[in-house]
Amino acid sequence: MQSRTSNTYGWYVAFILLIGFTFSFIDRQVLNLLVVPIQNDLNITDTQISALQGLAFVITYVGLCVPIGRIIDKTHRVSVMIIGLLVWSAATIACGFSKNYISMFIARMGIGAGESTVHPGSISILGDYFDSDKIASPMSIYLLGPYLGAGIAMIFGAQVLDWTSQMDSNFILPLVGEVAPWQLTFIAVGLPGVLVACLFLTIREPKRRIQEIESQEAPSFKKIAEYIKNNWQVYGAIIIGNSCLIILLYGLQSWVPTMLLRVYEWDLIQSGRIYGLIAMFAGSAGVLSGPFVLNLMNKNNIDAPHFKLAIFGISMASLSLVLLPFQANVNIALIFVTLASFFVTLPLAGTSSAMVIVSPNRIRGVITGIYVVVTSVFGLVLGPFLVASSTDFIFQDPNAVAKSLSLVAMLVLPMGIALMWNGSEDFETARKSAIS
């Protein structure tokens, strides 16, 4: 096997995984741009749209991540991911054919089922191509996916809407008939999935690193549970503490475009293009900056830098959102959105690297699955839902989106800081346990 210290092919794999992760988020996040036209056509509330953004996706995503992680620990990971990619692409296209709330809900469940393969598989593969002390940088490249995907979804979706808005009537597809602009947008973002699947065929399945155990057999769920229990402070920080960051991230991605429409009276196309650029560049800058900040912290002998950086990131992101409702000028408001988008992503490569470092190879897929389950329940469900329910039931004002984002930030901040601090105190013990 190639040396992992100078692994050119490993970097190629990281970029292919990035492409797959990016397209998963394009398909997942394009809905956030289309909230208003979908609501108008399907006659649904903010809370119902939040269920499409989070709950419908998460039902299958959460239900399958741990079983998929188990399969990934035992079998050919690349094949599993290719099947998942084709499933979620087909389900995205199905969203474009939805005529009512129920059919849209079912299609979103299909996207969640397919995408349950991507993160456990990618984390496991990267952990076998790179040494643990070198994985932060390729991990940061891979983790660009959500922010590139969200940005491209907004920008490309806005372009499709702009194109179709210039037509005198809805678009006519052969054998399908008339489709609305928002439906055509789903179809357009789902079709490239076949090409991405072809790229995944070029990934060589890596040999598993089994330095820590003698047996090739994956440990039982009982042993995995015991390992997590013995290192509960670290995993509490990585899984639940990181969920606080994910809540803020998905709250932003789900509702900032709608905030620009309702509060600042922007049109849909302008909102998509501008927020798409912010999500893409600010989010990417945060992820890419993370490893450099970690290296600087290591050089200054700061203990558990992965968790200390997370404390800083969630504090600054929350502060930016707390100040958001007080901005009457849209340009100033966008500055705070940009700051929040940067700081909420700054720690994510570090916390994902920490998960690889403290997790033995043969249980990494399952632990990643557990991570995805918990962060999805907290982030994908609670992020959009807490913002929407605050708008609908607490403020009872559709123009109170910024206030809702601020309220959610104030709620998650203390829990995130407490969990990350506890994790920092037990990190070194967990690291030694993973390699003993």
Q: What are the beta bridge partners of residue 384?
A: none
Residue that has been written with the tokens 């994908």 in this structure:
380
Report which of 14, 97, 115, 32 is spatially closest to residue 388, judged by C-alpha positions.
32
Superfamily of domain 8-205+223-435: MFS general substrate transporter like domains (1.20.1250.20)
CA distance 315 to 418: 11
CA distance 47 to 254: 12
3-class DSSP state for residue 151?
helix
Q: Which amino acid is at 369?
A: G
pLDDT of amino acid 16: 96
CA distance 381 to 383: 6
The Cβ-side half-sphere exposure at 31, using a 13 Å CA radius, reads: 31
CB of 375 closer than 8 Å to CB of 243? yes
CB atoms within 10 A of CB 20: 25
Q: Identify the weakest region by mean pLDDT among 104-118, 139-153, 261-275, 369-383.
A: 369-383
The Cβ-side half-sphere exposure at 303, using a 13 Å CA radius, reads: 11
DSSP state of 133: G
Average pLDDT, the chain: 88
For residue 387, name the pLDDT band (cuts at 50, 70, 90).
very high
pLDDT in tens, 336-381: 999 999 999 999 888 888 888 898 877 877 887 788 778 877 877 7
pLDDT in tens, 305-336: 999 999 999 999 999 999 999 999 999 999 99
Report which of 420, 115, 51 is spatially closest to residue 245, judged by C-alpha positions.
420
CA distance 234 to 425: 8
For residue 135, name the pLDDT band (cuts at 50, 70, 90).
confident
131 to 128, 210, 218, 252, 288: CA distances (angstroms): 8, 12, 21, 34, 19
In this prediction, residues 265-277 reach a mean pLDDT of: 90
pLDDT of amino acid 1: 44
CB atoms within 10 A of CB 191: 14
In this prediction, residues 203-223 reach a mean pLDDT of: 70
pLDDT in tens, 30-51: 898 888 889 989 999 888 998 9
57 to 17, 61, 88, 94: CA distances (angstroms): 21, 6, 11, 14
* Structure tokens belonging to residue 426: 């037990």
DSSP state of 325: G
Q: For residue 110, is pLDDT > 50?
A: yes
Q: For residue 422, is pLDDT > 60?
A: yes
CB of 418 closer than 8 Å to CB of 282? no
Domain boundaries, given as residue ranges, for the chain: 8-205+223-435
CA distance 22 to 143: 9
CA distance 168 to 174: 18
CB of 140 closer than 8 Å to CB of 349? yes
